[in-house]
């Protein structure tokens, strides 16, 4: 079957495809084929269908090449000059290879030339051909697979889809970086969905470290790593850090309707809830928008989140709630950005971080498997949720003074107390619950795991800044559900960059 269609007449560009289809049908209907197991027949049919698709694509391109040649040959010199910025010399049969999802095809087109000027290929603009060898369809496939798993896994997935590996690992990395160049412009041109004035506008920010290649750390991290002294030569001791990570900043903006609750809707009272009482649910996030960057500093990511929020509420008529984890630098940047825009924000400390601190303190008073630790945490958390964080701090310090604690345990208790005291302005949970605000930043915490840990934190991964930034921003784009629209936007921008001729939209090749 492999050579039977090759000798078919080529007067019609689709003759090869028609001949191959006939041969494929014959091969699947032979007596010996009727004895084959279904999996082998399935494989033969799949491979044949892929080759048939390649031949159909090749036939289409050959037909367009003939039409272009006839069209340009019929044009007078003045028409060619107007089409190609003064180029009048026509050369035929210029060819380039194009790797596609169904195989490699040859694009034949005409060149318009003039002395001391680069060739102009009208068909390249009409077809929207990319600058490199790989088609936009193949690029899209490679990018989606590369941001989903490792580059090696992406190559395997592309190979399974295409029947062969049409590109290498370095090429995939380059395609991913090229695919991300228009994300900022895409979101700048996007109009957020409208919402009622009563709808909450919620922002949250988080950070996550990414292991980088040498030379791609921030300067402060690099210098700190150089100054660090290590106890052991071959491993780290307790408390030592490798200094190999660069912090990525993530921010989420979303809408939510207020959902008033009480403390016991958040945490079960000691002894459990009454069987007939169902806890009230918290605000449900909708219209989520996620952004992330390892290249830009936290202030730029926070500014981008405020840009998104302001696009949703340009008149500042909605209630802005900002969820934080207590990082001082993060709080400073958030408040600075709010002041710059003259917008009132309500900062709430993530209750999950508070409860984690309480659990750390509980282990200072109770054994690891002691059920009383849960009751202890429940009492303290309920008191804080009711708006009495200062009272909870006093109790903690009193219990620590009366208990027989080690220096390390006392340090843990003191750390919890300082955390609540330093963030005293942001732990008025009674007011937040009454107003129906969210009090946990689970969305951005989950985004940090999804965007960074699931892809950029794969064992053995070491990243450059451009590579990590491209993967991170593309994963955020996909998480927002915007990839299909973005790909249309990106291909249009790419076409404008590659084929900026002002008359390109007026030139049509009719097949």
Token pair 């603009």 in the structure block, residue: 125
Q: What is the 3-state secondary structure (H, E, C) of 74-119?
A: HCCHHHHHHHCCCCCEEEEEEEEEEEECCEEEEEEEEEEECCCCCC
Contacts of 466 (CB under 8 A, 6+ apart): 177, 295
For the purposes of burial, counting CB atoms within 10 Å of the CB of 433, is it exposed (0-12), middle (13-18) or buried (19 or more)? buried
- Is the distance from CB of 331 to CB of 424 less than 8 angstroms? no
Q: What is the pLDDT of residues 114-163, one digit of tens each?
A: 998 999 999 999 999 999 999 999 999 999 999 999 999 999 999 999 99
d(CA 403, CA 328): 31
Query: In the chain, what is the straight-line distance between the N-terminal and C-terminal CA atoms, in Å?
Result: 29
CATH 3.90.320 fits 198-228+239-350+440-481, yes or no: no
Query: Among 102-116, 231-245, 281-295, whose mean pLDDT is lowest?
Result: 231-245
Residue 243: pLDDT over 60: yes
pLDDT at 502: 47
Q: Which of 290, 304, 306 has its CA nearest to residue 479?
A: 290
Least confident residue range of 266-275, 372-381, 440-449, 470-479: 266-275
At 9-62, the pLDDT tens digits run: 457 999 999 999 999 999 999 999 999 999 999 999 999 999 999 999 999 999
Asked if 316 and 196 touch (Cβ cutoff 8 Å), the reply is no
Confidence at residue 83, expressed as pLDDT on a 0 to 100 scale: 87
Q: Is the pLDDT of residue 229 over 80?
A: no
Per-domain residue ranges of the chain: 198-228+239-350+440-481, 351-425
Tokens, residue 464: 């450059």
Is the pLDDT confidence value at 405 over 70?
A: yes
């Amino acid at each position: 079957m492999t050579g039977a269609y090759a000798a078919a007449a080529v007067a019609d560009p689709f003759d090869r495809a028609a001949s191959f289809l006939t041969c494929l049908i014959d091969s699947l209907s032979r007596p010996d084929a009727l004895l084959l197991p279904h999996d082998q027949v399935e494989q033969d049919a799949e491979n044949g269908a892929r080759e048939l698709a390649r031949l159909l694509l090749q036939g289409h391109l050959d037909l367009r090449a003939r039409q272009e040649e006839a069209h340009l040959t019929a044009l007078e010199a003045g028409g060619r000059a107007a089409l190609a910025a003064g180029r009048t010399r026509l050369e035929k049969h210029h060819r380039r290879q194009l790797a596609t999802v169904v195989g490699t095809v040859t694009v034949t087109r005409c060149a318009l030339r003039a002395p001391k000027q680069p060739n102009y290929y009208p068909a390249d603009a009409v077809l929207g051909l990319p600058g490199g060898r790989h088609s936009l369809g193949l690029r899209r496939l490679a990018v989606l697979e590369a941001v989903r798993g490792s580059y090696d896994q992406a190559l395997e997935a592309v190979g399974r889809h295409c029947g062969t590996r049409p590109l290498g690992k370095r090429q995939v990395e380059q395609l991913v970086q090229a695919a991300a160049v228009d994300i900022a412009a895409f979101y700048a041109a996007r109009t957020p969905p409208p919402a009622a004035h009563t709808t909450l506008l919620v922002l949250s920010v988080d950070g996550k470290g990414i292991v980088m290649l040498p030379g791609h750390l921030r300067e402060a991290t690099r210098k700190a790593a150089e100054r660090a002294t290590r106890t052991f030569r071959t491993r780290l001791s307790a408390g030592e850090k490798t200094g190999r990570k660069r912090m990525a900043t993530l921010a989420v903006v979303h809408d939510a309707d207020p959902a008033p609750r009480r403390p016991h809707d958040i945490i079960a009272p000691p002894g459990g809830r009454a069987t007939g009482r169902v806890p009230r649910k918290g605000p449900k996030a909708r219209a989520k928008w996620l952004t992330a960057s390892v290249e830009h500093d936290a202030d730029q990511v926070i500014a981008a989140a405020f840009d998104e929020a302001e696009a949703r509420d340009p008149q500042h008529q909605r209630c802005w709630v900002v969820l934080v984890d207590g990082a001082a630098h993060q709080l400073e940047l958030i408040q600075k950005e709010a002041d710059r825009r003259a917008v009132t924000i309500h900062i709430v400390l993530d209750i999950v971080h508070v409860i984690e601190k309480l659990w750390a303190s509980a282990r200072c008073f109770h054994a690891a498997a002691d059920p009383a630790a849960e009751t202890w945490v429940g009492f303290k958390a309920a008191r804080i949720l009711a708006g009495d964080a200062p009272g909870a701090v006093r109790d903690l310090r009193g219990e620590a003074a009366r208990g027989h604690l080690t220096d390390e345990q006392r340090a843990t208790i003191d750390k919890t107390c300082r955390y609540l005291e330093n963030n005293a302005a942001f732990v008025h949970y009674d007011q937040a619950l009454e107003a129906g605000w969210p009090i946990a930043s689970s969305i951005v915490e989950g985004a940090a795991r999804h965007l960074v840990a699931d892809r950029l934190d794969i064992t053995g991964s070491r990243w450059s800044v451009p590579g990590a930034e491209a993967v991170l921003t593309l994963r955020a784009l996909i998480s927002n559900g915007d990839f299909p629209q973005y790909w249309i936007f990106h291909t249009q921008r790419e076409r404008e960059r590659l084929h900026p001729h002002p008359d390109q939209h007026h030139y049509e090749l009719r097949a």
